[in-house]
Amino acid sequence: MSFTLYLIYDIFAICPVVENGIAEIEEIEIFTKDYNYYLHLVMAILNRKVLCHFSLPDMAISRQFDVELSRISTFQMGGKVAELVSVETEQDLKELFMSMAPDRKWFILGGGSNVVFPDGDSDITLIQFTPQPIRFEKKSEEEIYLIAPAGAVWDTVVAEAVEHGLSGIEALSAIPGSVGATPIQNVGAYGVEIADVFDSVRAFDTETKKHITLSNSDCRFGYRDSMFKHEGKGRYIITEVTYLLSTDEPNVPQYPGVAEYLAGKNITRASLSDIRDAIISIRSSKLPDPRTIPSVGSFFKNPFVPIELATKLKAEFPSLAVFPVNESLSKVGAGSLIDVAGLKGKRFGNISIYKNNALVLVNEGGATREELKNVVAMIVDEVQKKFGVAIEPEPELLEF
């Protein structure tokens, strides 16, 4: 107890005191083993009106308290979270969980580009991996493993793969977020999914407190889906992902926009860089930059419908984007459904449907979770009534 009291006294000794005896300070560093107990005590004493950053000498762990969720998500929505912890290594993560109370609520945060936070204050620990270097390992002359830590920025990984002449993920360029999220969501675009290049994942099992390796089949990938969204949710934390890439010539995505870009540049034999440049150009023209326009990119998943319904809809609404999947199913572009329903560019309070892409919802400033919930429900209802097709959100709408 005397050790804890001494630290608290020391904090007040270096903090300016303002009204009501509340200490205000931007950043402090403290080194102790018994951090989980006394940090919460300090925060209680300071009435949670201080943003603190704590680092520990033997672990690459840092902590921030009372973090504004709108600052760490591209949709810029949400209240405050009790603490945000940054870790670097698998061992850091294990040490963190060994120190936390068993009933402590936690959530793994990637780049904040595919989540929508709740309003109000949340007594939960957000955990985020700091970006670390990737590495390559040779499997054969034609196949190379790309091994990336969970905190690595996804588009940086794609850029490095292209730079090394490795094909397989170039069509996934310019997708925001971190590596750790790619298997969870089975991220995909332009005919490519993570499942196509996924070899294995290292994960921390929060139940056994051990690190394990999961194969492609273990992850049970589906369209924007994996077992990490179901039985693995809240149990496994991805720490590292291994992708199997190729030294062969790349496959050019068979999409009109890509073909138009390449034709406009007089490119007849596209390189990896050509394909990446095409994807970046197309995405930048259709999707807003979340640094200036708050969004989470595509807000709705593209629905799969019976091919008979798809044929009927295409005949009635020729501008709908319909893609045959197999003999019984077709995929319909959710954005085209919303567009043809007449909602593109419309604003509803502080939420709008992006003028350049009906698949994107924009926070115009000060939007609340309730507003978003109502707008999403309205869009889903309008699409269902007009086309008889159900669409659902793609980002994770968090409730702590």
Could you tell me where the beta strands, DSSP code E, fall in 150-288?
A: 188-189, 192-193, 198-205, 210-215, 236-246
Give the whole-angstrom CA distance, residue 170 versus residue 159.
8
What is the DSSP-derived secondary structure letter of residue 21? G
Give the whole-angstrom CA distance, residue 135 versus residue 157.
10
Give the whole-angstrom CA distance, residue 201 versus residue 241.
4
Give the whole-angstrom CA distance, residue 156 versus residue 276.
12
Tokens of residue 148, six digits: 């990336």
Give the whole-angstrom CA distance, residue 44 versus residue 51.
13
CB atoms within 10 A of CB 91: 12
Candidates 171, 154, 152, 176; CA nearest to 287 is 176
* Cα–Cα distance list, 66 to 51, 85, 238, 337, 397 (Å): 6, 11, 25, 40, 21
Q: Give catalytic residues, as residue numbers.
A: 224, 298, 394
Cβ-contact 13, 25 below 8 angstroms: no
Cα atoms found within 13 Å of the Cα of residue 222, Cβ hemisphere only: 11
Beta strand 59-68 pairing with 188-189: unpaired
Q: Compute, in degrees rounded to 10, the torsion defined by CA atoms 81, 87, 92, 93.
A: 50
Q: Which amino acid, one-letter code, is at 110?
A: G
